[in-house]
Structure 1
Amino acid sequence: MSSSSSSSAAAPPVEKPSAVFSIGINGLTSVVLSQPGGYSAEVLLYGGQVISWKNKRGDELLFISKKAVFEPHNPIRGGIPICFPTFINNGSTEQLGFARLRYWEVDTSIDLTTSSDKASIDLILRPTNDDLLKCPNQFEFRLRVILEPNGDLKMNSHISNLNSDGKPFTFLFSYHTYFYVSEIREVGVEGLEKVDYLDYLQNKKRCTEQAEAITFDSEVDRVYLNTPDIISITDRELKRTFTIRKSSSLPDIVVWNPWEEKAREMTDLDTIEYREMVCVEAAAVGSEITLKAGDEWTGTHHLSVCPWTLGKGC
């Protein structure tokens, strides 16, 4: 499955919002959300991962690598992996977490389509015995993915600390979103001017962003701290703008592109595919989230796409 071409056919028209189970690559089950305007999104039960988001013309808006591995126990390169429960261990960050490597349950207590105008799916993740060896915390993670009538994509995460011993639960979190772009050099990320960031290519050196729009001519790996809640990604060649609207519980934005040398080292990314993607992630990674026993954390992000307008989001 690949998003390297934006000429894929539009989904067959539907008369009302729908959510339909589908069997895909290697027998992995997904739910396809559709709207009458031709919009669609696909959510894998493996990883609770959105692997497709299309506009009414059938153009793919998320990047999936041609070399992505759709097999159990492997992360899938692209779409929107959920990075949880990432945590700090002996001063270093444990990368990405296991939520993206687990099968999520469908919440059968909620209809697949939950209203007259929204197509949605509700999923639940609970830790396995093996997970508890890595992260000894009882929790429940409820995820709702919504495809709006106008094609916007919304993800709501609710994480509850169920530790019976009263122990707090501490973690980091991000929606690791891979946006499909025409050419990385034609992309600008707007809304982060004057925001402090940690540069992971310089041993987490703290810097302040000076540019009105972040552009790309080499590898970028940064965590922007305490950012505005609205961020835009412009693609000048495709003449479209993505907008991220996030809850204040996701204070940070991660901006990442591996560039050519790092891409060569990645077995699940084609050498030139770094040119077709940019990761801009709503996240809580600058400082840890701590839940007391019985407490719940909620993190929401809302993705829109519209014709490109200089300096303005959707």
Structure 2
Amino acid sequence: MVDRARKPSALATTPGLPPQPQVAFSSDNSSVTATLPTGESVSVLLYGATVVSWKDKNGDEKLWLSEAAKLDGSKPVRGGIPLVFPVFGTAPDHAQTKSLPQHGFARSSRWEFLGKSTSESTPTPTTPAFAATATSAAGAVAAAAADMSVKLDFGLSSSSLSEDARQKWPYAFNAIYSVTLNTDSLTTNLVVTNDDERSWECQVLMHTYLRVDDITTTSITGLSSASYIDKTTSPISTNTQTSPVLTISSETDRVYTPAGDSPASVPITVLSNDKPKFTVLRDNLSNVVVWNPWIEKAKGMADFEPKEGYKNMLCVEPGAVGTWQVLEPGDALEGAQTIVLGGKTE
């Protein structure tokens, strides 16, 4: 046999599909976890469609979850990203939602997992994936994997509610909740459709618990000149954020309406030691709730552990809660948040 001077190149360098995101259910089918080829992951509990974990490629957790959080469906989860619908807090004077428990039933109902979808950027002359093709097919595969995302869809409808919830809120609806994981961001998107023959009113909010290193060195920008309702005062007061930077040094429970708000809304940046840690972008959600229970409030909550956990969490919660959202028959309400690691806004 003639030993050829030019042999075929190794199989490892031939073009091929990039590694795909992996989606797996827990052993008891109570949660679903998606993991990108680059290592990032997100876990969603079917109870409440609550995001209970979001980790970067190094395995560092980005959300705060109480050590005493109930994950068995016995009560709403303390931490992660619980969903608030169709009422924020309680509304004893609102005819349609006055009988509902605090924050409604979305966070305490079992959602159906509808499936996953993936996407990746198409390589162009300016993308790393395209550049990598010129030198290494394996490099192109790795770059394409880095551009990949995975979306998990969950569904809830009036027909799947508990009998108690249907009696307290007898309106037909359909909700689709999507959780999209990218290498440097997490997006949660809720679409609610009125399937009833009557109009009804609702509020929605994404009750996001961000994990911070130290609340005393944490600050927030993007709320300057915003009006806010301070729920820690008695009576509740309305004020304006005069400082460009908000710091937390006591119990904080404020409902902000950022100035100049629009669908392409003002970015809210959470900083640690003056360095951007998270940037929260909102779509069609005109309010932002900022919450930290601080010392005494944390002590009084049985499911808040450790009691000093307030030092490592900050709730920045996009929502539409300042007024009631009216949905006529057939109308849909859509709202989304994207949490970007660091200071990126695009």
Measure the CA separation in 1 of the matches of 2:51 and 2:319: 16
Which residue of structure 2 aligns with residue 170 of structure 1? 201
Query: Which protein is richer in helix relative to its size?
Result: 2
Contact 1:18–1:113, Cα closer than 8 Å, also in 2: no
Do the aligned residues in 1 keep the contact of 2:223 with 2:258 (CA within 8 Å)? no
Is there any run of 5+ residues in structure 2 with no aligned partner, and where? 1-17, 121-147
Aligned to 1:6: none
Greater Rg by CA: 2
How far apart in 2 are the matches of 1:90 and 1:267? 28
1:239-281, Cα deviation, whole Å (9 max, x unpaired): 552011111x210000000010011100011211111100000
Which moved further from structure 2: 279-288 or 69-78?
Answer: 69-78
Question: Which residue is 1:97 aligned to?
Answer: 104
- Aligned equivalent of 1:288, options 310, 324, 344: 324
Is residue 269–residue 276 contact of structure 2 (8 Å, CA) maintained in 1?
Answer: no
In the alignment, does 2:19 pair up with 1:15? yes
What does the per-residue CA deviation read over 1:165-190, in whole Å, with 9 as the maximum and x for residues that have no partner? x2112011100000001111111111
**2:81 alignment partner in structure 1:** 80
Q: Within 5 A, what are the aligned runs for 1:65-144? A: 65-86=66-87, 88-90=91-93, 95-107=102-114, 111-116=115-120, 117-127=148-158, 128=161, 129-144=163-178
Partners of 2:152 and 2:325 lie apart in 1 by 26
Query: 1:98/1:28 Cα in 2 relative to 1: closer, same or farther (>3 Å)?
Result: farther
Please point out which of 237, 240, 255 is paired with 1:223.
Answer: 255
What's 1:30 paired with? 31
Indicate conservation of the 8 Å contact 1:232/1:313, yes or no: no
Helix, strand or coil at the partner of 1:38? coil
**TM-score normalised according to structure 2 size:** 0.78
| SS of equivalent residue, structure 1 residue 140 | strand
CA spacing shift, 1:89–1:167, aligned 2, 3 Å? farther
Structure 1 residue 226 displacement after superposition: 4.4
1:22–1:29 CA contact under 8 A, matched in 2: yes
Determine the C-alpha separation between the residues in 2 that align with 1:177 and 1:170.
23
The residue aligned with 2:13 is none
Amino acid at match of 1:176: H
Q: Give yes or no for the alignment of 1:241 onto 2:277.
A: yes
State the partner residue of 1:207.
239
SS, match of residue 130 in structure 1: helix
Counterpart secondary structure, 1:260: helix
CA distance in 1, matches of 2:37, 2:273: 28
Contact kept in structure 1, 2:221 and 2:245, CA below 8 Å = yes
Give 2:313's aligned residue.
277
Of 175, 184, 190, 1:151 maps to: 184
Query: How many residues matched?
Result: 286
Return the letter of the residue paired with 1:264: K
8 Å Cα contact 1:17-1:113 kept in structure 2? no
Task: Indicate conservation of the 8 Å contact 1:40/1:151, yes or no.
Answer: no
What is the rounded CA distance, in whole Å, between the counterparts of 1:175 and 1:29 in structure 2? 21
The answer to whether the 8 Å contact 1:56/1:151 transfers is no
What is the rounded CA distance, in whole Å, between the counterparts of 1:19 and 1:304 in structure 2? 22
Does structure 2 retain, via aligned residues, the 8 Å contact 1:196–1:224? yes
Report the Cα distance in structure 2 between the residues aligned to 1:113 and 1:214, rounded to whole angstroms.
38
Cα offset, 1:94, TM superposition: 5.7
1-structure distance, mates of 2:102, 2:271:
28
* In 2: Cα distance, 1:171 partner to 1:94 partner: 14
CA–CA distance in structure 2, aligned partners of residues 258 and 251 of structure 1: 23
Cα deviation code 1:27-60 (max 9, x no counterpart)? 4621111112211111111110110011111110
**Worse-matched range after superposition: 93-102 or 72-81:** 93-102
CA contact (8 A) 1:170 1:288 kept: yes
Residue type of the partner of 2:288? I
Pairing partner for 2:300 from 248, 258, 265: 265
Between the aligned partners of 1:135 and 1:278, the Cα distance in structure 2 is 31
For 1:225 and 1:276, the matched residues in 2 are separated by 25
Give the TM-score normalised by structure 1: 0.86
Amino acid at match of 1:236: N
